[in-house]
Amino acid sequence: MPYDSKLAARLTRRFKTQGVAFEAKAMIGGLCFMVDGKMCVGVSEDRLMVRLDPALYANALTKPGCRPMDFTGRPLKGFVFVTQQGLDTAKRLNDWLNLALKFNPHAKASRKRSGRSRAKD
């Protein structure tokens, strides 16, 4: 299923309004917004993916529309999905985006891949 382009546009406007430099990259069937070379938020289907401080993870799960991010059968701590229920106002979207931006300076960047596969001898 393609990602929600309206949600992606809302995120783009928020980043621009807040003066945040970002790069949007197609990833895993969705769109990822990178800040300082690190995954910050993304859009997967019609959900917002948020990378936040793992210490805030349990509390985040109590908020409307928030669910564990689970691609593989095991939730990834520090990452959550937020459904449309939790994004129904500009304030709610801003709150999630601000959590992600606040954590971004502390987040680890993923390792760069070499881009070429290695043949085994």
Higher pLDDT, 108 or 114: 108
Report the pLDDT value the prediction gives residue 119, as an integer from 0 to 100.
44
* Average pLDDT of the chain, as a whole number: 89
pLDDT > 70? residue 1: no
Mean pLDDT of 2-15: 94
How far apart CA 57 and CA 53 sit, in angstroms, is: 7
pLDDT above 90: percentage of residues in the chain = 78
Higher pLDDT, 115 or 58: 58
Would you say 97 and 41 are in contact if contact means Cβ atoms under 8 Å apart?
Answer: yes
HSE-up (13 A, CA, CB side) for residue 110: 8
Instruction: Choose among 34, 29, 33: nearest CA to 44.
Output: 29
- Helix residue spans in 18-64 (DSSP H): 57-60
Instruction: Choose among 2, 24, 26: nearest CA to 12.
Output: 24
Confidence of residue 27 (pLDDT cuts 50, 70, 90): confident
> What does pTM read for this prediction?
0.86
Residue-wise burial string across 36-66, b where 16 or more C-beta atoms lie within 10 A, e elsewhere: eeebbbbbbeebbbbbbeeeebeebeeeebb
pLDDT by residue (tens digit) across 51-109? 999 999 999 999 999 999 987 788 888 999 999 999 999 999 999 999 999 999 999 88
Give residues with Cβ within 8 angstroms of 68, minimum separation 6.
Answer: 61, 75, 76, 80, 81
